[in-house]
Structure 1
Amino acid sequence: MGAVIYFTGIIFSLIIMNLIATLLKRYLFKSVPLKQNNPQYKLFKEIPTLKSYPLIGHSYLFFPGAKYKSERLTEAFVDISRTLGPIFRLQLGATDMVVTLNPDDSRTLFQNEGRTPKRPAFAALVHYRTKAFNSVGVVPGNGEEWYKMRKGVTPLLQHQVINPYKKQQQEIAKIFTDYVKLHRGENFVLQDIYSHLLKFTIEAISVVSPGHHFHCLFNDNEETQTIIDASINFMDGLHRTLMEPPLWKIWKTAGYKKLETSHNTIYKILRSHLEDIEKQYHKDPEKLKEMHPYMYSLFSNDQISLEDKIMLAIEIFLGGIDATATTIAFTCYYLSRDRDVQEIARSSLSEGTDFLKACIKETLRLSPTAGGNSRYLINDTIMSGYFVPKETLVLSLHSGLSKDNNIFNEAEKYYPQRFMKDTRENFHRFASLPFGHGPRMCPGKRVAENEMVILLAEILKNFVLEPAGSDNVGMVFRMNRIPDRPINIKFVNTNH
């Protein structure tokens, strides 16, 4: 889940940064270079849009007190699509962005992303990392440098690399069930399960990267709390630098300082452990390969520098925290509200985890942590009958697509059976892509899936989940999408 796209950052980095650019030059529509009167498609400028204004374009839609809220961009774009249709154009400063809720367009988008897919970068993070470490990492990178760095994380998609971690993840999952028993309060209610799951996900991902087990659940030492605080502050700082004008290029804004300080804290802690891993690699590489297969693959990669390796380790670590915690929290939320589905999930564990995996897929359909996937097209193409020129930024709103009743039967219903072989629905394969697709698909996908399946299975073996007053929980953007309110769940011991 670590490379999922930070959807809200795309919107506001474009709004703010391009407003400045608009003051310097007049905006011109992109022209159609060939066959402008081709009856098979309409012109780019004919793509439906809303009223715009000089300088600000459509950014007024998200001003304070306006119709839409920046933290609920999915709902905003779905509402706009009700007026304009499944494809529309927004002018954010000097940039035209196409938003689509058509799964065929989503397929076209990925067919036209190329060998090195380009998406909007996180400018403040790139600025800081380049200046401090001379290494950008894979998440904010683009082009050939991204391609080189990406090779450092693709081993995480290989079963022989991630499966050896299952035993440790199982042990951590069992520790979490003991943690729940200790921290649940009156009437067995665990308040704000998401905040507790952050500790679990930090502990679970730490055994993979940096290859040092951070004991977060039952160890309140200073390093543990520092890691937790820095992880939260980093995401907040990154979010703030994307929301505010890029004044950090001139002086360090509050958001930039938070980003810099938290990143520095994480860097120092992880670097010390990674230096130990490097020593182990040189001393006994075969033992490291057995104990820490991903660390072995990372340090045996001679195409990237030590700083690059540290950046990749940091990104895998940070990327495996909040998105995974959110998905587990929402799966518990949905299961607590549907006892029949919960009982099927529990009873089926004796035969395997296929149904539990279907539950996770259904959670990610209803409550994906990423709002969508965006790319700059490398070719002129046709989307929903309109010509879209190359280099146009296109956003496929998967968080809207995945709840479309025209694509999924009873789309608002939690129904994991739609993902099971015997009862599978025939829906468009590009309608729900919680981990992305293609060369930039989330490299932590299988690690996250293992963590979630193992923990949820352990929870269902030990507890019956019941709702505890958290009704109609939605999602808001804080880089990734997270619960918009605390999820409280009653954990009642099973009779086993």
Structure 2
Amino acid sequence: MRSLFTRKFLNLSRSYSVNKTFQEIPGPKPLPLIGNALLFSPLGPYKVSRLLDGFADLQKQYGDIIKLNMGNKISLLIFNPDDIRSMFQYEGKYPQRPTFEALKDYRKKKYQCVGVVPDNGEEWHRMRQNVQILLKLKTVHSYWSRQQAVAQEFSAGLLSKMNSDGILEDFLQYAFQYSLEAIGVVCYGKRLNCFSNNSEDYRVNKAIVQANVKFLKALGETFHQPPWWKLWRTKAYKIIESTQDFMMGTAVKYLQEARQKLIENPDRFLEEDPILYHLLENRNLSETEKNLLVTEIFQGGIDATGTVITMMLYELARNPSIQTSIYEDLMKNKMRPGHISPLLRACLKETLRLHPTAGGTSRIIDSDAVLSGYHVPKGTLVIGVNPVISKMGRHFSDPLTFDPWRFLKKTETAHPYTSLPFGHGARMCPGRRFAEQEILLCVAEVILKYEVLSVSSKDIFMFLEMNLVPSEPIDFKLILICPIKFLVVPTHLFMTNKKGFPVLPKSHQVAIRQFLFQETQILIIGAQRHQHYKHYQQYMEHMWQVGYESDPVMQFAQGYEDFLQFPLHNNLEAQTYEVFEKDPVKYTE
């Protein structure tokens, strides 16, 4: 009742200031039949992959509200946060936005239901109500310890991913592995073993990541391009078919395992996996709907989370003083549910301001509205271009600079609708709190273990596929900063050489050699997989000797250890004495 009164009051108050019609809204002149579509075609000035740059350019030409005619559809671009707030006030009981028609079409044909993501209206509302549990803080925090364990294992394993120069190439591919493992704990109540050397686990998880990337790219093509798929099964439509079937098959397999756990011990299952319990015991959903909802949550938790982690570390690598401040804060104040470093959280907000993964927010308004003094009729598609708004100087000082401190200053507050990386209102991303938890845990564990250095000074921009993604691979150099007392090497990591003895893969050799001169004790654990357990220890000793001999300074000093340790030896030979005298550790000339 209150919201209805508020809307009527807003309509009444704004009606006095309205003196401009919908036809008067500025915008580029449309062409017959195709409207403004040529602007965003290969023949036009704006590429779809750089769509937001095109919108920013149009804003400079026409102002904060722009009318676009895309053939037979008229839409508005808005760049004023007050208008975005008004847009949400006119969204109606069942907020509508442009749907993913190709995805909706295939799911309806194959599964007889479409899920939350591609739908609108009452059916969307019914399905959406069943995932509200994802937004409860108590529920999110119950997964903290398991997701923190994922972050710790992921960060520790990054050493083995670096090349011989100590460079971690294309970090995003590893961030996807982390986000897959972290969301797997939530969706399937199990570890997917994304960091394992097991060839079968590696194959399956790699296939999941690749399928998700292909799916989003194909979804973007069917969304941004003319609906040719309605005339014939286009390549993009076929990719949507194959990837959806693969993801649904994965969900069915893992949920069968979860159902067995539920049957064996319901109380324990409820305590450990409240989200799965809520879905599996939900009598308002069919089995297919349950599988589809889990698939949507699972897929939604891979791409954007991995991208934000990568971009956050990208900014921290370029701003070492901020990285140091976060490290010091984390060392003083241990993170726990509900108690996260304010600076770390501010860094996340600043990363999402500069590098959001969503291209904006949109609504098909449910009633006549007033935006920037113009009358806008019911049924108009309104697009809030937040990624452009959040970089405007009128809202943020020095807007292109990464400055998380801006969110910690009480004297500096931004309009609440300038940056909406997870959307807003009833259609806000239901996995928002899980995404934030996973991102903060991952970045914290990486910063606690390494100094993250930027390899290239080149600026990275975001381009549009379905979501916004980095324009090129991002590499990091990691320097270990925390003392490691023990290094555990499981026996399952060892391969067998031609003579039947255990050896480690080269990537693991590179990682372990970094610990050779740090007085780290190597602990070998696990089942005996070769002839004798001592062979593992002998191999590690061999690795230490090879690493020791590879140091040119140590090689030069070989043969003189006794004399260098005891410089007052009575029988110093001339050559040894020469070496000793030039030793900068013993004497300075």
Alignment check: 8 A CA contact 1:174 1:458 kept: yes
Q: In 1, Cα distance between the equivalents of 2:175 and 2:482?
A: 24
**Which deviations, in whole Å up to 9, do the C-alpha atoms of 1:109-138 show, x marking residues without a partner?**
111112210001100100110010111010
> 2:289 maps to which residue?
308
Alignment check: 8 A CA contact 1:162 1:293 kept: no
Matches within 5 A, 1:81-480: 81-219=59-197, 220-221=199-200, 222-349=203-330, 350-351=332-333, 352-420=340-408, 422-423=409-410, 425-469=412-456, 471-480=458-467
Q: Secondary structure at the match of 1:131?
A: helix
Query: What TM-score, normalized to structure 2?
Result: 0.76
Q: 1:489 aligns with which of 459, 476, 482?
A: 476
Q: In 2, Cα distance between the equivalents of 1:243 and 1:186?
A: 42
The one-letter code sitting in structure 2 at the alignment partner of 1:381 is A
Identity %: 37
Alignment check: 8 A CA contact 2:359 2:468 kept: yes
Structure showing greater radius of gyration is 2
**Which deviations, in whole Å up to 9, do the C-alpha atoms of 1:324-364 show, x marking residues without a partner?**
11111111010011111111111111234221111011000
Q: Secondary structure at the match of 1:162?
A: helix
Tell me how far 1:300 sits from its aligned partner. Answer: 2.6
Tell me how far 1:415 sits from its aligned partner. Answer: 0.7
Tell me how far 1:203 sits from its aligned partner. Answer: 0.9
The one-letter code sitting in structure 2 at the alignment partner of 1:245 is P
Alignment check: 8 A CA contact 2:360 2:383 kept: yes
Q: Which residues of structure 1 form unaligned runs of 5+?
A: 1-33
**Runs of 4+ residues deviating >4 angstroms:** none
Q: Which residues of structure 2 form unaligned runs of 5+?
A: 1-11, 334-339, 484-589
Q: In 2, Cα distance between the equivalents of 1:445 and 1:336?
A: 25
> 1:22 maps to which residue?
none
Larger relative contact order, structure 1 or 2 (CA cutoff 8 Å, min sep 6): 1
> 1:60 maps to which residue?
38
Q: In 2, Cα distance between the equivalents of 1:169 and 1:41?
A: 55
> 2:587 maps to which residue?
none
Residues 371/243 of structure 1: CA separation in 2 closer, same or farther (3 Å cut): closer
Alignment check: 8 A CA contact 2:407 2:413 kept: no
Tell me how far 1:385 sits from its aligned partner. Answer: 1.0
Question: Aligned Cα RMSD in Å?
Answer: 1.7
Tell me how far 1:72 sits from its aligned partner. Answer: 1.0
Matches within 5 A, 1:38-49: 40-49=18-27
Q: Secondary structure at the match of 2:382?
A: strand
Alignment check: 8 A CA contact 1:162 1:294 kept: no
Q: Secondary structure at the match of 1:238?
A: helix
Alignment check: 8 A CA contact 1:417 1:424 kept: no
Q: In 1, Cα distance between the equivalents of 2:417 and 2:395?
A: 10
Residues 364/169 of structure 1: CA separation in 2 closer, same or farther (3 Å cut): same
The one-letter code sitting in structure 2 at the alignment partner of 1:300 is E
The one-letter code sitting in structure 1 at the alignment partner of 2:277 is Y
Tell me how far 1:170 sits from its aligned partner. Answer: 1.2
Alignment check: 8 A CA contact 1:326 1:369 kept: yes
> 2:47 maps to which residue?
69
The one-letter code sitting in structure 1 at the alignment partner of 2:37 is S
Tell me how far 1:179 sits from its aligned partner. Answer: 2.2
Q: In 1, Cα distance between the equivalents of 2:251 and 2:411?
A: 43
Q: In 1, Cα distance between the equivalents of 2:122 and 2:46?
A: 37
Q: Secondary structure at the match of 1:97?
A: strand
